[in-house]
Amino acid sequence: MRDPIGATWRLIRWGGALAKHDALIPREITPMLPGWARPVAGFVHLFAGREGRDGRPGQRLGRAFETLGPVAIKLGQVMATRADIFGIEFARDLGRLKDKLPPFPTDEARREIERSLGRPVESLFSDFGDPIGAASLAQAHPAWLADGRKVAVKVLRPGVERRVVQGLDSMRLAAGLVHRLVPLSRRLEPQAFVETVARSMNLELDMRLEAAAASELGDIMDKARADGGHMSAPKVVWDGVGKRVLTLEWAPGLPMTDPAAIEQPGLDKDALADNVVRAFLTQALDYGAFHADLHEGNLFASAPAELTAVDYGIVGRLGPGERRYLAEILWGFLTRDYPRIARVHFEAGYVPPDHSVEAFAQALRAVGEPVIGKQASQVSMGRLLGQLFEITALFDMHLRPELILLQKTMVSVEGVARRLNPDHDLWAAAQPVVERWITRELGPKAQVRDGLRELLGGARALSRLVQDPPQAQTVVVEREKTPVWLAVCVIAATSLSAAALIVSLWPRILG
């Protein structure tokens, strides 16, 4: 910690803002406190102002964070991804955090660009406009390249790095105090949680990393267009990228926060709602990387149903195991196959093996059956996942952070789709993507593919054994190598087994 005194003073200021919004010790939890703590809570409530009288605890905490600057806002955004800890409603309320601030002068932005790129603004842009949006970390400007292309230039606020370092110091001090003074909080690992926030903010303070994320997800979206196409990303203008500057081609269409966006002539709102859901699932399932901040402020729409996503500060990533987990549980709920969903949890190692698969399937049925037969507009995939995570806690399931980020993004995606069409059938939109993944990765063709991969792997291993037998073997067998005839027989037997497998599965493949 660079400045303990300054960190302590800022922490006191944070406490005052939280008390003012009745978010330090919310009145809703006072009855649950032990007797000795209730007078303390009552004293804190004396400092609550008008801001602390309205809304749920998550809403009041969000408003308090908005007054405290970028680090507090980022803390709230990360908390919003941990519905498993804070509860679904609380996390959803924090997910509405906004960090809109007054812009800083255009002349300062030009100086920041020149320092970061090491060249005059005029050498890259034929025209550079005033800011069109300002957040706590950066603001965006319209500009035009020499070839006439319109671009968006994102510039970090001057001195924002210092504010972030100071805020993180205060957060680390608070986490240490909570860890020492509140034993019950230790299972939540407050200090590790703060370091998660710190890592996220350090990534967002380097525009080169966001440019790389935009480029990667743009490539993924381009590949996905072969399956119908659901979303695109503005191209990165690499000549305009530096540590504190990011330049992207201008996103077509209108921002979905603009009421005029859904009134565009020729816009198909139902298809647009389908595309939001399918784009997210295609990225997550087929490629293992997804835009993890798909709210309306980061989406542009144009007729007939084209979507463009901006702001790539948060990217979610799923490994092969998590992708299978997501596909299998969605497919299991679609087909009401609760034993299958249960087995996936155990195979993935998410539920300890000392629990009963059958008992877990019973718990899953308690989640799924209440939604069977209901109208699609009454069933939320994000909420279903949230309830699943709540029940799995009874079976000692330790959730991975990427699954929580996935659930949080799914809630955002559903919100966009339902605002386009309140009766939108999310499950019908998801089914083609999930079914395609299940067929490709777990169907008969996939079994043949995996069998052939194992065959080739075995053949390579035998080939290496023939060419370079183990040193110990050459000593014991008097430098006699593995007989070639034995290797040939093993390969032939393996090939025949693979052929038999293919023949047995061929009718299913053709069907």
- Report the domain count for the chain: 3
Give 261's DSSP letter: G
d(CA 450, CA 168): 47
Q: Are the C-beta atoms of residues 327 and 438 closer than 8 Å to each other?
A: yes
| Mean pLDDT, the chain, integer | 81
Same domain, residue pair 173 and 277:
no
Residues designated catalytic: 293
Same domain, residue pair 275 and 421:
yes
pLDDT tens figures, 449-461: 555 656 666 666 6
Same domain, residue pair 385 and 497:
no
Strand 150-156 with 138-145, pairing: antiparallel
Same domain, residue pair 309 and 287:
yes
Same domain, residue pair 364 and 473:
no
pLDDT tens figures, 338-380: 898 889 888 877 788 889 999 989 988 888 777 665 655 666 6
Same domain, residue pair 285 and 372:
yes
Q: How many other C-beta atoms lie within 10 A of the C-beta of residue 320?
A: 9
pLDDT tens figures, 14-61: 888 889 998 888 888 888 878 878 888 888 888 888 877 788 888 899
Same domain, residue pair 503 and 418:
no
| Average pLDDT, integer, range 206-234 | 89
| Average pLDDT, integer, range 143-156 | 96
Same domain, residue pair 450 and 312:
no
Per-residue model confidence (pLDDT) at position 111: 95
Per-residue model confidence (pLDDT) at position 421: 86
Q: What is the pTM of this model?
A: 0.73
Give yes or no for residue 511 having a pLDDT over 50: no
Q: Which residue has the higher pLDDT, 386 or 305?
A: 305
Domain range holding 496? 444-510
For 3-9, which contacts have Cβ atoms below 8 Å and span 24 or more sequence positions?
Answer: 3/166, 3/169, 4/173, 6/166, 6/169, 7/166, 7/169, 7/170, 7/172, 7/173, 8/170, 8/173
Per-residue model confidence (pLDDT) at position 140: 95
Give 207's DSSP letter: H
Q: Six-digit token pair at 399?
A: 């959730």
Per-residue model confidence (pLDDT) at position 2: 67
Q: Which of 440, 469, 491 is the last residue of a domain?
A: 440
Same domain, residue pair 462 and 403:
no
